[in-house]
C-alpha cells in the first residue's frame, strides 16, 4: 500500500511556542489512520499545519506526490482534502442546506450522494432548512462531517469527532465512519477516545510533546496493553 | 488580604456548579469542597470540563447555575479581579504574560496588586523598594532572577512558564490554581516547578488545585484526585484508589463511551 | 531632578539636549524671541505639550483611542470664556469657570467611560467621535451662551492685560507687560501639569495602565479591574486636557469652535502624538514643538517653494502653504508603519 | 448563549417594529398630517442615503474586522468626481428633459462609483492590508489615510465649496391635495430600497452571498472548504467604497453643494447608524439608518434646538437597551 500523505520533519511555531518539533508519519492510501495523544501533544496543530492554517517552519508535507507545506489553505483544500476542525466550524447562521451547498464547490448538490449521506445522517434531512446553530452538538458534528464529504475527497482530516458527545451518538458516529471507509476515502482521525479509535483505525500514530512517539498497526497496539498504558495512559512511569 | 481565617468553612466550595454553552453542558452540577493545606488534582480526558471548571471558580466565566464560595462567602457574582483580591490565584494553561514589560515588572505588578497599591497615582513606582524586593524574591524562587530585565516575550517557553508561576506566587493567594503547570516544559525544568508546588503545599495553610494530565506528577503531589468526565464529577478520593478505579480507566481510554 | 522627572529620564543624549533646549527656549521665550507672533507660538507650544501629553496617557499608555479629547480641551476654554463674559474679568470668575469646567469634564468622561470602555477599542473610538462632534455643533448653536461660530472675546483681570506695565523700565530690553505675566502663567501651568502627568505614568497606577494595554485579561486575573483603571485614565486625561483648555483661553482671551473643538485640532493632536512618539511623554514635547513651529513657519517656507515652482503643473499646488498637512499626513502614515515609537523611539534607538 | 439554542428560527422583529412605532408616536405630536407625511418621507430619504453609504462599511467590519475611519473620503471623492462630470454637462442637467438629465446623471454616478471603488482597492492594498487584526493601528492608519485623502482633494479640486444644482426634473414636489413630497426624496427612497433589495438578494440568494455570510462567521473554515476568501474581502471592500461614492453623489445633490468636509460630517451619522444597528450587521444598519433619518426630521421640526442631540440621544438609549446594538453580530 502506498502512502497518500507523508509528513517528514515538520516543525511548527505559533508565536513563541515551538509546537511541532519534527513530526514524521505517513497515512497509507485507503485506510483510516488514527493520531492519538494526550491534551497538548500537538495533534490539532498537526492537522492545521497540513491544512495550511499554520505554516510549517520546516519539513515536508507530501500529498499525492507533491509537497504542500507552503501552499495556502484554499489550495490545499482544492487538492481534495476535507477538514473537520475540533470546533466543527459550522456556519451557525446558515441553514443545513446552505452549509452543504457552500461546501459543494464544483456545482449543485449531487442528489445521489446526498441521499447516501442522509442514510447515515438522517437528522440532516429532517432539519434541512433549519439554521445550523439550532442543531444539537451531535447533529452539528454530523453536519461538519457531511460538509467535508459532500464531494468525494481523497483525504479527510477529522479532529476529535467524539468530543463532548453522548455514548449513543458516538456509536452512531462509528457506523458513519465505517460506511465512509467503504467508499475508499482515506481518513486521518485525531482522537483521545481510544475505544473509538480502536474500533475504526487501521494504522495508528501516537504523539507526545510535538513528536511522534509510536506508529504502527492499530491491531498491534490494541493487543499490547502494556504499550497502551505506556503511551496513553495512567501508569506512573508514563512520563520520563 | 490573606490574614488567617477561621476554619469553620472550607477554603473553597462549589455547589451544583453548572455552565451551558448553547445546548452543550460543559460543567454539570459539580459540587465539591476543598480544605486548607490540601492539594487536589483534577483529572479527566480532553473536553471533560477541567479548564472550564477552573474558569468558573476563578471568575473568567460566569456560571449558568450553582454557587462558588470562598471561605464561606458566596463569590459567584463577583468578577475575576474581585475574586483575586479575596485570595484566589490562578496560573494559566497557555502562558499569559505582559509581553512587552520586563520579567521583573511582570512579577512586580502582581506584588503591587497584592499590596492594593494599583490606584497610587502620585508616587514613583521605583520608590516602592519593598515591592521590587519582594518581586525579586519570587524571581529567585523560580530561578529567573538573572533574567529580571529581559522582556517577558524574549524568554524561552520554559522560562515563561516559570514566570507564570512567579506571578502566581507574588499574589500570595490562599487558593492556588495551577492549570497544567508543566505543559511544554523540558525534562530538566519540570522539577523546579514541582519542587515549588511541594513547598507551597508544605506551608500547610494553602489550598492547591491542580489540573494535570501526567499521572506521575499527580501521584507525587496530590492528596486527593477528582475526576471530571463530560462535565460531571465521576470520582473523588485518594490517588491510588481513584486511579485504579474502573470508571476512571474507562473515562480515560474511552470505554465509557461504547459499551 | 530624580523626583521632578519621576525617574523617567530621556535615555538618549540627543533627546536630552533637545529637551533642555526646548525647555530653555520656552522659559526664556519673551526675552529670546520677542515679538507678538513668536510669543504666540511659544504659548501655543506650551499648551499643546500639555494637551498632547494628556492624550498620550490614553493612547500610548492605556491603548485607548478617543476622539473626544478636543471636547475636554474646549470645555476648559469655554469655561474661562463663559465665566469671563458672564461674571466679568475677575479672578474669582476665572476660578469658578475653571472649576465648573473641570467638574463637568470629570463627569462627562466618567459617563462616556462607563458607557463604552468595557467594549472594543473601535467601538470606543466611534462613540467618542460622535459625542465630540455633537459638542462641537452644540457650541456653535448655543450662541446665546457660547457666541456661536464667532466665539467669545472677553476681558481678563487687569494683571493679565497687555496694557498693564509691571515694571517702569524694560527688563533686558523687554517691556514687562500683562502679556508676559500671562505667558508665564501658561508656561508654569503647562510645566507643572506635564511633570504631574510624568509622575502619573511612572506611578504604580501608570504601570497598571501599561499592563492593561499589554494584556487586559491577565491584568484582571491578577486583581486589577481594567474598567476601573481605564475609566480613571480617561478621566485624568480629560482633566488635564481641560486644564490645557483653561490655559489656552487665558492666553488667547478668545474662545471659539475652531480654536478648541474642531476635529481638525483632534487630528493635529493625533499627528503630534504619533510623530513625536506614543507611550513616552517626551514624545508629546517633541511632537507638539515640531508641529506648532511647522504650522507657523513651514508654511512660509512652502510659500517660497510654491512661488518658485509657479508654472510647473501640479507642483505649486502640492507645495502650496495650505497643503502642509498633506505631507504631515503621509509622514504620519509612514510613522505608524515604520517607526511606531516615533521620533523619541528613534532617538532612543528602539526598533 | 443558552436561549440562543431555544429560540425559534427567524429574525428578531422588535427592532423592525421601532420604525412604525416612532412614526406613530410622532403623528399626534405634529400638528398637521401633510407635515407629518413630508417629514416622514424626508426622514426615510435621509435614512436611505445614509444606509447606502454605511452598508459597505458595516459589512467590511463584519467580514474583516476592519473599521475604516477614512470611509468618509470615498463619499467626498464620489461627490467631487460626479461634480466634475456634471459641471461641463450643465446644459443637460438644467434642461427640462428627463432623458437629458439622466444622460448626465448616470455617467456621473458611474464615474463616481468607479473612482471610489478603484480608490478603495488601492486603499485596501496599501493602507489597510498590513494592519489586519490590529485595531489601534487600524484606527490610526485609516485616520492618516483620511488626512491624506482630504488634502489630495484640496490639491485636485481646490478648497472651496462647489454648488451642485439638482437636475431640473428632480426639482420641485409631487402634490397630493395638501401633501407635498419633494421629488428628489422619492428618488432617494427608491434608490435606497433598490440597493437594500439588491444587497439582500445578493447575500441571501447567491453563492457569493453565501460565501460572504459564511466568511463573517468563520473565515478560516471558508478557506478550508477551498475558497480564496481574501478575494471576497477585497471585492466587498471595493463594492463598499463604490456605494460610498454613490451615496456621496446623492447626498451632494440633496444638499446641492459639494465640500471637502462633507464626508467627515456624514461619517458621524454613519457611525451612529452602525453602532445602533450592531457592528457588522447589514440589516441592523438599514433599520438604524431609517431610525436616525426619521428621528432627525421629527425632532428637527418639533424642537430644532435639541435636534442635534437627538441622534446621540437615540444612540445612547439604544445602547442602554441593547449594549451591542439592535442586531449584534455573534462571532469570534
* Contact call for B255 and A133, based on CB within 8 A: no
- pLDDT value of position B1: 41
Comparison of pLDDT for A222 and C66, the residue scoring more? C66
**From the candidates D1, D4, D7, which should be mutated to test the interface with B, based on the most B CB atoms within 10 A?**
D1
C130, C263, C323 member nearest D151 (Cβ): C323
A18, A40, A195 member nearest B157 (Cβ): A18
- pLDDT value of position C305: 80
Tell the residue number behind the cell numbers 508603519, with chain if given.
C337
- Region B217-224 average pLDDT: 87
User: How many angstroms away from the CA of C171 is the closest CA of chain D?
Assistant: 45
Please indicate if any CB of chain A lies within 8 Å of the CB of D221.
yes
Report the run of H or E that residue C29 belongs to, with start and end: helix C29-32
Lowest-confidence pick of A225-234, B80-89, B170-179, C250-259: A225-234
B24, B153, B254 member nearest A193 (Cβ): B254
Spell out which residues of chain D touch residue A131, defining contact as CB-CB under 8 Å.
9
Q: Which of residues 44-73 of B touch D (CB under 8 A)?
A: 64
Domains plus CATH for chain D?
14-321 (1.10.3470)
Please indicate if any CB of chain B lies within 8 Å of the CB of A88.
no
Phi–psi pair at C72, nearest 5 degrees: -70, -40
SS3 B120: coil
CA atoms within 13 A on the CB side of A169: 16
Residue of A nearest to D231 (CA): A74
**Alpha carbons C75 and C83: distance in angstroms, whole number:** 12
List pLDDT tens digits, range C160-209.
888 888 877 777 778 888 899 999 999 999 999 999 999 999 999 999 99
% of chain D beyond a pLDDT of 90: 52
Lowest-confidence pick of A205-219, C2-16, D128-142, D145-159: C2-16
**Alpha carbons A114 and B111: distance in angstroms, whole number:** 61
A166, A167, A195 member nearest B253 (Cβ): A195
User: Band of the pLDDT at B257, cuts 50, 70, 90?
Assistant: very low
Question: Shortest CA distance to C209 belongs to which of C232, C190, C238, C181?
Answer: C232
Q: If you count residue pairs, one on A and one on B, with CB atoms under 8 Å apart, how many are there? A: 88
Please indicate if any CB of chain C lies within 8 Å of the CB of B51.
no
* Contact call for A53 and D221, based on CB within 8 A: no
User: Band of the pLDDT at B248, cuts 50, 70, 90?
Assistant: confident
* Contact call for D1 and B23, based on CB within 8 A: no
Contacts of C17 by beta carbon, 8 Å cutoff, 6+ apart = none
Spell out which residues of chain D touch residue C131, defining contact as CB-CB under 8 Å.
312
Q: Does the domain spanning A1-80+156-161+188-240 belong to CATH 1.10.3470.10?
A: no
* Contact call for D207 and A101, based on CB within 8 A: yes
Are chains A and B touching, using the cut-off of 8 Å on CB pairs and a minimum of 3 such pairs? Answer: yes
Q: List strands edge to edge, sheet with A81-84.
A: A81-84, A155-159, A186-191, A32-36, A203-208, A211-217
SS3 annotation, C174-202: ECCEHHHHHHHHHHHHHHHHHHHHHHHHC
Q: Dihedral sign, CA of C260, C265, C268, C272?
A: positive
* Contact call for D5 and A134, based on CB within 8 A: yes
Asked whether B226 and B236 are in contact (CB, 8 A), the reply is yes
Q: Which chains touch B (3 or more CB pairs under 8 A)?
A: A, C, D
SS3 annotation, D201-240: HHHHHCHHHHHHHHHHHCHHHHHHCCCCHHHHHHHHHHHH
Residue of B nearest to D2 (CA): B22
User: Band of the pLDDT at B22, cuts 50, 70, 90?
Assistant: low
Domain assignments of chain A as residue spans, ordered by start: 1-80+156-161+188-240
Asked whether D52 and D192 are in contact (CB, 8 A), the reply is yes
* Contact call for B112 and C204, based on CB within 8 A: yes
- Region D86-93 average pLDDT: 87
Domain assignments of chain C as residue spans, ordered by start: 2-347
Q: DSSP assignment, residue D13?
A: -
Mean pLDDT of chain C: 89
- Region C88-113 average pLDDT: 94
* Contact call for C211 and B109, based on CB within 8 A: yes
**Alpha carbons C343 and D300: distance in angstroms, whole number:** 48
Please provide the distance, in angstroms rounded to a whole number, between the alpha carbons at the two ends of chain B.
51
List pLDDT tens digits, range C104-116.
999 999 998 887 7
Q: If you count residue pairs, one on B and one on D, with CB atoms under 8 Å apart, how many are there? A: 10
* Contact call for D159 and C322, based on CB within 8 A: yes
- pLDDT value of position B7: 58
Please indicate if any CB of chain D lies within 8 Å of the CB of A74.
yes
How buried is residue C14: exposed, middle or buried, by Cβ count under 10 Å (0-12/13-18/19+)?
exposed
Phi–psi pair at C152, nearest 5 degrees: -120, 135
CATH architecture of B1-87+211-259: 3-Layer(aba) Sandwich (3.40)
Mean pLDDT of chain D: 88
The CB density around residue C170, as the number of other CB atoms within 10 Å, is: 11
Mean pLDDT of chain B: 85
Residue of B nearest to C5 (CA): B124
Residue D46 pLDDT > 80, yes or no? yes
Residue of B nearest to D5 (CA): B22
CA atoms within 13 A on the CB side of B170: 34
The CB density around residue D331, as the number of other CB atoms within 10 Å, is: 13
The CB density around residue C340, as the number of other CB atoms within 10 Å, is: 18
Please indicate if any CB of chain A lies within 8 Å of the CB of D5.
yes
Spell out which residues of chain A touch residue D216, defining contact as CB-CB under 8 Å.
93
> What are the distances in angstroms from CA A67 to CA A56, A77, B205, C103?
12, 14, 57, 67
Residue C56 pLDDT > 50, yes or no? yes
Are chains D and A touching, using the cut-off of 8 Å on CB pairs and a minimum of 3 such pairs? Answer: yes
Are chains C and B touching, using the cut-off of 8 Å on CB pairs and a minimum of 3 such pairs? Answer: yes
Are chains A and C touching, using the cut-off of 8 Å on CB pairs and a minimum of 3 such pairs? Answer: no
Domain assignments of chain B as residue spans, ordered by start: 1-87+211-259
- pLDDT value of position D47: 96
**From the candidates D221, D281, D283, D329, which should be mutated to test the interface with A, based on the most A CB atoms within 10 A?**
D221
Question: How do the pLDDT tens digits run along chain A, 240 residues long?
Answer: 588 999 999 999 887 677 888 999 999 998 999 998 876 778 999 999 999 999 999 999 999 989 999 999 999 999 999 999 988 999 988 999 999 999 998 888 889 999 988 988 888 998 999 889 888 888 899 999 999 999 889 999 999 888 777 777 888 888 889 988 888 889 999 987 788 888 899 999 998 878 898 999 998 888 887 787 777 654 333 332
List pLDDT tens digits, range A9-62.
999 988 767 788 899 999 999 899 999 887 677 899 999 999 999 999 999 999
The CB density around residue B10, as the number of other CB atoms within 10 Å, is: 17
User: How many angstroms away from the CA of B256 is the closest CA of chain D?
Assistant: 27
How buried is residue A2: exposed, middle or buried, by Cβ count under 10 Å (0-12/13-18/19+)?
exposed
Q: Which chains touch C (3 or more CB pairs under 8 A)?
A: B, D
**From the candidates D204, D210, D211, D224, which should be mutated to test the interface with A, based on the most A CB atoms within 10 A?**
D224
Please indicate if any CB of chain A lies within 8 Å of the CB of B240.
no
List pLDDT tens digits, range C119-144.
678 889 999 999 998 888 888 888 88
Which class would CATH give C2-347? mainly alpha
Please indicate if any CB of chain D lies within 8 Å of the CB of B250.
no
Asked whether A152 and A185 are in contact (CB, 8 A), the reply is yes
Spell out which residues of chain B touch residue C221, defining contact as CB-CB under 8 Å.
58, 60, 80-81, 84, 90, 92, 96
**Alpha carbons D176 and D190: distance in angstroms, whole number:** 19
User: Band of the pLDDT at D16, cuts 50, 70, 90?
Assistant: confident
- Region D210-220 average pLDDT: 89
- Region C2-18 average pLDDT: 85
Spell out which residues of chain B touch residue D4, defining contact as CB-CB under 8 Å.
22
CA atoms within 13 A on the CB side of B44: 27
**From the candidates A191, A234, A235, A238, which should be mutated to test the interface with B, based on the most B CB atoms within 10 A?**
A234
Residue D54 pLDDT > 90, yes or no? yes
List pLDDT tens digits, range C213-231.
988 889 999 999 988 999 9
User: Band of the pLDDT at B123, cuts 50, 70, 90?
Assistant: confident
**Alpha carbons B92 and C221: distance in angstroms, whole number:** 10
Amino acid at each position: 500500500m502506498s502512502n497518500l500523505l507523508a509528513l517528514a520533519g515538520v516543525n511548527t511555531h505559533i508565536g513563541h511556542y515551538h509546537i511541532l518539533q519534527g513530526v514524521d508519519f505517513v497515512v497509507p492510501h485507503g485506510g483510516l489512520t488514527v493520531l492519538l495523544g494526550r491534551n497538548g501533544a500537538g495533534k490539532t496543530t498537526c492537522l492545521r499545519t497540513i491544512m495550511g492554517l499554520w505554516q510549517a517552519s520546516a519539513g515536508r508535507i507530501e500529498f499525492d506526490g507533491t509537497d504542500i507545506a507552503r501552499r495556502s489553505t484554499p489550495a490545499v483544500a482544492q487538492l481534495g482534502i476535507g477538514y473537520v476542525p475540533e470546533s466543527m466550524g459550522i456556519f451557525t447562521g446558515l441553514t443545513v442546506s446552505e452549509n452543504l451547498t457552500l461546501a459543494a464547490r464544483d456545482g449543485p448538490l449531487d442528489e445521489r450522494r446526498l441521499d447516501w449521506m442522509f442514510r447515515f445522517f438522517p437528522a440532516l434531512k429532517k432539519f434541512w432548512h433549519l439554521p445550523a446553530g439550532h442543531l444539537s452538538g451531535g447533529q452539528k458534528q454530523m453536519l461538519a462531517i457531511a460538509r467535508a464529504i459532500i464531494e468525494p475527497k481523497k483525504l479527510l482530516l477529522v479532529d476529535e469527532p467524539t468530543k463532548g458527545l453522548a455514548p449513543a451518538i458516538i456509536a452512531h458516529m462509528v457506523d458513519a465512519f465505517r460506511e465512509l471507509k467503504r467508499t475508499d476515502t482515506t481518513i486521518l482521525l485525531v482522537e483521545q477516545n481510544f475505544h473509538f479509535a480502536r474500533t475504526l483505525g487501521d494504522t495508528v500514530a501516537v504523539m507526545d510533546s510535538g513528536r511522534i512517539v509510536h506508529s504502527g498497526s492499530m491491531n498491534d497496539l490494541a493487543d499490547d496493553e502494556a504499550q497502551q498504558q505506556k503511551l496513553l495512559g495512567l501508569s506512573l512511569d508514563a512520563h520520563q | 488580604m490573606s490574614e488567617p481565617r477561621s476554619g469553620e468553612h472550607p477554603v473553597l466550595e462549589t455547589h451544583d456548579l453548572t455552565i451551558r454553552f448553547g445546548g452543550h453542558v460543559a460543567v454539570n452540577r459539580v459540587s465539591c469542597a476543598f480544605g486548607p493545606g490540601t492539594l487536589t488534582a483534577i483529572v479527566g480526558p480532553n473536553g471533560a470540563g477541567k479548564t472550564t471548571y477552573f474558569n468558573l471558580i476563578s471568575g473568567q466565566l460566569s456560571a449558568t447555575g450553582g454557587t462558588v464560595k470562598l471561605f464561606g462567602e458566596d463569590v459567584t457574582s463577583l468578577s475575576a479581579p474581585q475574586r483575586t483580591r479575596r485570595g484566589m490565584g490562578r496560573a494559566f494553561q497557555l502562558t499569559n504574560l505582559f509581553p512587552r514589560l520586563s520579567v521583573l515588572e511582570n512579577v512586580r505588578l502582581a506584588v503591587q496588586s497584592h499590596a492594593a497599591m494599583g490606584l497610587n497615582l502620585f508616587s514613583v513606582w521605583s520608590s516602592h523598594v519593598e515591592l521590587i524586593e519582594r518581586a525579586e524574591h519570587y524571581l529567585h524562587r523560580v530561578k529567573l532572577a538573572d533574567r529580571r530585565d529581559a522582556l517577558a516575550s524574549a524568554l524561552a517557553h520554559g522560562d515563561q512558564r516559570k514566570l507564570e508561576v512567579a506571578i502566581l506566587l507574588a499574589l500570595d493567594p490562599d487558593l492556588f490554581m495551577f492549570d497544567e503547570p508543566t505543559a511544554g516544559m523540558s525534562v530538566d525544568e519540570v522539577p523546579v516547578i514541582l519542587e515549588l508546588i511541594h513547598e507551597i503545599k508544605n506551608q500547610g495553610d494553602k489550598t492547591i488545585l491542580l489540573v494535570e494530565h501526567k499521572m506521575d506528577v499527580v501521584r507525587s503531589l496530590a492528596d486527593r484526585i477528582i475526576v471530571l468526565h463530560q462535565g460531571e464529577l465521576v470520582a473523588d478520593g485518594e490517588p491510588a484508589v481513584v486511579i485504579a478505579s474502573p470508571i476512571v480507566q474507562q473515562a480515560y481510554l474511552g470505554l465509557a463511551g461504547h459499551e | 531632578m530624580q523626583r521632578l522627572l519621576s525617574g523617567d529620564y530621556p535615555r538618549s543624549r540627543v533627546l536630552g539636549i533637545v529637551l533642555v533646549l526646548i525647555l530653555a527656549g520656552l522659559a526664556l521665550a519673551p526675552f529670546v524671541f520677542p515679538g507678538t507672533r513668536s510669543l504666540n507660538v511659544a504659548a501655543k507650544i506650551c499648551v499643546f505639550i500639555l494637551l498632547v501629553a494628556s492624550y498620550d496617557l490614553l493612547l500610548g499608555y492605556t491603548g485607548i483611542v478617543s476622539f473626544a479629547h478636543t471636547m475636554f480641551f474646549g470645555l476648559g476654554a469655554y469655561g474661562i470664556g463663559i465665566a469671563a463674559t458672564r461674571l466679568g474679568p475677575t479672578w474669582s470668575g476665572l476660578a469658578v469657570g475653571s472649576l465648573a469646567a473641570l467638574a463637568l469634564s470629570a463627569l462627562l468622561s466618567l459617563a462616556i467611560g462607563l458607557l463604552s470602555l468595557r467594549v472594543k477599542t473601535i467601538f470606543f473610538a466611534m462613540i467618542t467621535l460622535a459625542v465630540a462632534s455633537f459638542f462641537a455643533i452644540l457650541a456653535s448653536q448655543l450662541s446665546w451662551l457660547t457666541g456661536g461660530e464667532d466665539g467669545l472675546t472677553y476681558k481678563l483681570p487687569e494683571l493679565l492685560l497687555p496694557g498693564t506695565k509691571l515694571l517702569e523700565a524694560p527688563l533686558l530690553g523687554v517691556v514687562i507687560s500683562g502679556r508676559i505675566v500671562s505667558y508665564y502663567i501658561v508656561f508654569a501651568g503647562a510645566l507643572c501639569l506635564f511633570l504631574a502627568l510624568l509622575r502619573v505614568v511612572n506611578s504604580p497606577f501608570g504601570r497598571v495602565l501599561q499592563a492593561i494595554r499589554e494584556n487586559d485579561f491577565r491584568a484582571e486575573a491578577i486583581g486589577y479591574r481594567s474598567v476601573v483603571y481605564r475609566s480613571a485614565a480617561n478621566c485624568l486625561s480629560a482633566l488635564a486636557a481641560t486644564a490645557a483648555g483653561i490655559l489656552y483661553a487665558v492666553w488667547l482671551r478668545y474662545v471659539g469652535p475652531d480654536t478648541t473643538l474642531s476635529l481638525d485640532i483632534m487630528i493635529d493632536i493625533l499627528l503630534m502624538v504619533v510623530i513625536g512618539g506614543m507611550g513616552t511623554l517626551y514624545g508629546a514635547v517633541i511632537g507638539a514643538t515640531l508641529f506648532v513651529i511647522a504650522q507657523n513657519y513651514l508654511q512660509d517656507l512652502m510659500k517660497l517653494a510654491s512661488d518658485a515652482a509657479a508654472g510647473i503643473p501640479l507642483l505649486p499646488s502640492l507645495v502650496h502653504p495650505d497643503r502642509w498637512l498633506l505631507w504631515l499626513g503621509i509622514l504620519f502614515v509612514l510613522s505608524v508603519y515604520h517607526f511606531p515609537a516615533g521620533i523619541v523611539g528613534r532617538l532612543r534607538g528602539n526598533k | 448563549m443558552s436561549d440562543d439554542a431555544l429560540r425559534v428560527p427567524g429574525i428578531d422583529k422588535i427592532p423592525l417594529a421601532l420604525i412604525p412605532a416612532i412614526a406613530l408616536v410622532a403623528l399626534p405630536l405634529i400638528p398637521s398630517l401633510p407635515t407629518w407625511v413630508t417629514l416622514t418621507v424626508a426622514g426615510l430619504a435621509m435614512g436611505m442615503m445614509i444606509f447606502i453609504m454605511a452598508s459597505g462599511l458595516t459589512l467590511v467590519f463584519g467580514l474583516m474586522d476592519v473599521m475604516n475611519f477614512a470611509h468618509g473620503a470615498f463619499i467626498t471623492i464620489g461627490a467631487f468626481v460626479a461634480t466634475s462630470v456634471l459641471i461641463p454637462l450643465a446644459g443637460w442637467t438644467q434642461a427640462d428633459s428627463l432623458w437629458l438629465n439622466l444622460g448626465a446623471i448616470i455617467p456621473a454616478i458611474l464615474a463616481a462609483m468607479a473612482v471610489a471603488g478603484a480608490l478603495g482597492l488601492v486603499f485596501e492594498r496599501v493602507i489597510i492590508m498590513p494592519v489586519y487584526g490590529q485595531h489601534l493601528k487600524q484606527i490610526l492608519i485609516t485616520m492618516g489615510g483620511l488626512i491624506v485623502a482630504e488634502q489630495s482633494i484640496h490639491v485636485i479640486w481646490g478648497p472651496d465649496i462647489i454648488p451642485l444644482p439638482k437636475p431640473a426634473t428632480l426639482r420641485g414636489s409631487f402634490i397630493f391635495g395638501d401633501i407635498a413630497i419633494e421629488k428628489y426624496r422619492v428618488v432617494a427612497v427608491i434608490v435606497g430600497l433598490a440597493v437594500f433589495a439588491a444587497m439582500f438578494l445578493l447575500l441571501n440568494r447567491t453563492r457569493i452571498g453565501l460565501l460572504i455570510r459564511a466568511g463573517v462567521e468563520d473565515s478560516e473554515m471558508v478557506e478550508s472548504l477551498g475558497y480564496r476568501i481574501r478575494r471576497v474581502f477585497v471585492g466587498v471592500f471595493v463594492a463598499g467604497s463604490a456605494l460610498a461614492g454613490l451615496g456621496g453623489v446623492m447626498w451632494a445633490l440633496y444638499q446641492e453643494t459639494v465640500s471637502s468636509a462633507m464626508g467627515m460630517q456624514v461619517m458621524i451619522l454613519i457611525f451612529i447608524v452602525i453602532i445602533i444597528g450592531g457592528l457588522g450587521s447589514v440589516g441592523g444598519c438599514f433599520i438604524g439608518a431609517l431610525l436616525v433619518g426619521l428621528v432627525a426630521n421629527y425632532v428637527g421640526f418639533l424642537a430644532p434646538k435639541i435636534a442635534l442631540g437627538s441622534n446621540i440621544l437615540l444612540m445612547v438609549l439604544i445602547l442602554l437597551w441593547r449594549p451591542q446594538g439592535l442586531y449584534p453580530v455573534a462571532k469570534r
